[in-house]
Amino acid sequence: MTVSLDDLPIRDDLRGQKPYGAPQAPLPVALNVNENTHSIPAVVADDIASSVAKALHGVNRYPDREFTELREGFARYLGHGLDAAQIWAGNGSNEVLQHLLQAFAGPGRSVFGFAPTYSMYSLLTKGVGSEWIAGTRAADYSLTAEDAAAQVRAAHPDVVFLCAPNNPTGTPLSLDVVEAVYEATQGIVIVDEAYQEFAPKSSPSALTLLEGRPRLVVSRTMSKAFAFAGARVGYLAADPVLIDALRLVRLPYHLSALTQAAAVAALRHSDVMLGMVDEIVAQRDRMTAALTELGYRPYESWTNFLLFGGVTDPAATWKALYDRGVLIRDVGIPGHLRVTAGTEAETTAFLAALGELGRP
Ligand SMILES: *Cc1c(COP(=O)(O)O)cnc(C)c1O
């Protein structure tokens, strides 16, 4: 007799839910989950490896529960006068976001985000037993301060996610939206800056708004610009009191000694780790021009990926690219697909494969 999930005494609110499931396939050109597709330089990899090797000698003991050296490293990297007491980190920013929801959402509470946005927000929300409320955006996926604040005021959520720039659309978010949303709620406002390093250098971070706003959180990740997705390291900056709330819900010693050693070493080389960002942005802009030329409609992007519309049959186009060894992402928006900016060769391979399919 085979058992199905429904036969188990699983939580009622998890019945029928689908897990996060971006397809993982070993194709030569993988441009589907917005990784930095450039591997880290060998000299940096060697330094990280020797730091991890040193940490291995101490793995019989629990790691520093407060990951102090790593928090100091992130404070230094972020600048803006931040210190280690304002920093938190986890195994990917997904864990950091989960800590926030465990502390500030939970059963009977609600979490708000402007759809379409990062698919993990609703999954993490349901995982802690909260209600997910999807707000709306303009046709080009932009948000104005007035509209965003009005929507948040009407929904009175406990937590608001602002993805800046937004995934899966690439859309920039100006700081006046953050300020207006903060004023429109008594809840926690999380600005997810996973892609901030790909934004124009002159665009200010929400880190500049932290002073005097104890309910504001700015989250970052090493998974994208830092080329460190496989190491699983994300972090945030907020008021030290808010950080204390996260200590109530995290598992003890949640960041392994090996992860801490690897991340501290990588941060020592942040200039090199971030060295490919300009090249990736150049490939993104090259794709914008080429996709337009092919007859598609790419959206403005401040990230390392592009959402493009004008796709007659996204599932068929996705499969045709797959069959040509190119993996991109169908994010479920009718008529649209999303592609990560890769190396110059990967970008060329994607554009050539798409070109072979003819006009959209
Ligand atoms: C990729 C991504 C993350 C990063 O997740 P990690 O757990 O740090 O790998 C966070 N937020 C958004 C919007 C993303 O696209």
- According to DSSP, residue 222 is labeled S
34 Cα nearest atom in ligand 1 = 1
- Could you tell me which CATH number the domain at 21-40+272-356 has? 3.90.1150.10
Nearest CA to ligand 1 atom 6: 92
Three-class DSSP category at 329? strand
Q: How far is the CA of 211 from the centre of ligand 1 (A)?
A: 25
Contacts of 75 (CB under 8 A, 6+ apart): 82, 83, 84, 86, 87, 237
Domain ranges of the chain: 21-40+272-356, 42-268
pTM of this structure: 0.97
Q: How far is the CA of 236 from the centre of ligand 1 (A)?
A: 12
- pLDDT tens by residue, 212-259: 999 999 999 999 999 999 999 999 999 999 999 999 999 999 999 999
- Could you tell me which CATH number the domain at 42-268 has? 3.40.640.10
In angstroms, the CA 22 to CA 19 distance is: 10
**DSSP-assigned beta bridge partners for residue 338:** 307, 329
- pLDDT tens by residue, 256-280: 999 999 999 999 999 998 889 999 9
Pairing mode, if any, of strands 29-30 and 326-327?
parallel
- pLDDT tens by residue, 313-347: 999 999 999 999 999 999 999 999 999 999 999 99
- Contact of 249 with 58, CB cutoff 8 Å: no
